Amino acid sequence: MRYFEGKVVLITGASSGIGRATAFAFAGAGARLLLCARRLKLLRELEAPLMEAGAAAISLFRLDVRDRATVDAAIAGLPEDWKAIDVLVNNAGLSRGLSRLYEDDPENWDEMIDTNVKGLLAVTRAVVPGMVARNAGHVINLGSTAGHLTYANGAVYCATKAAEKAISEGLKIDLMGTAVRVTSVDPGMVETEFSRVRFRGDEERAAKVYEKITPLKPEDIADAVLWAVTRPAHVNIHSIVLTTIDQANSTVFHRHG
């Protein structure tokens, strides 16, 4: 069903993985897609397939959420017919490295914190005041099971996702008295570029993460996002935690023999 006919949906990090799948899910629901990512070329390659999938309109722009001034300028500079954002999907995020905290490269910390926490805050701060003024809107933040239980060699990444969880909870409290909804969608293992990015293009090491496991697909997460935003207006889904059947939490997995 085309629940979002004519509504504006902003998705950060929309060029691949969960962001890409979420764009296709909203396209099928008839949304007007406002898509951004650092890799504008990949976004442009999605434009025609997304229109074929049912998007009412598409607007693309390059954005690095780590640059708060650029985020502010990009949102403030949207054409009038794109300013009324109905759904914000804060998807942009990444992990870098997998090593002991005291041995890790501090540049990894900066990139994760600047993207996963400060980037999330920057986009939220730029978009949510408009939702409050219109007394309508829904913020979807992409979290992780890593925000619920810390795993070895991933302290900083886990900390950024614990921060996302706290930010989502705090934002919901701050929005009491308005009709703006907030949902944190917290997946476990999803087969995307995540591990390749974490290991800086090491395909062999990335493949071992999913070895003998049936992981979630990006479309599974997109389906959860779409479900949350299509609940009746008086219903707020605070959080969704989902994993593959082969995962119990961020540390316990079943690998097929």
pLDDT of residue 1: 57
Tokens of 39: 């890799």
Q: What is the phi/psi pair of residue 202, to 5°?
A: -75, 95
152: nearest Cα among 255, 252, 242, 254: 252
d(CA 17, CA 241): 18
CB 239 within 8 A of CB 168: yes
Q: What is the phi/psi pair of residue 231, to 5°?
A: -75, 160
d(CA 228, CA 207): 31
d(CA 21, CA 15): 9
Instruction: Give the domain ranges of the chain.
Output: 8-242
> Which residues are annotated as catalytic?
157
pLDDT of residue 198: 77
pLDDT of residue 209: 81
Q: pLDDT tens across 110-130, in order?
A: 999 999 999 999 999 999 999
Tell me the C-alpha to C-alpha distance, in Å, between residue 175 and each of 72, 131, 139, 210.
21, 10, 11, 39
Give the residues of the chain that fall short of pLDDT 50.
Answer: none
89: nearest Cα among 159, 36, 48, 28: 36
Cα dihedral sign, 100-106-107-110: positive
Give residues with Cβ within 8 angstroms of 183, minimum separation 6.
138, 139, 140, 141, 168, 225, 228, 229, 236, 237, 238, 239, 240
pLDDT of residue 203: 79
CB 185 within 8 A of CB 158: no
The fourth-level CATH superfamily of domain 8-242 is: NAD(P)-binding Rossmann-like Domain (3.40.50.720)
Count of CA atoms in the C-beta half-sphere (13 A) of 234: 0
Residue matched to tokens 């949350």: 228
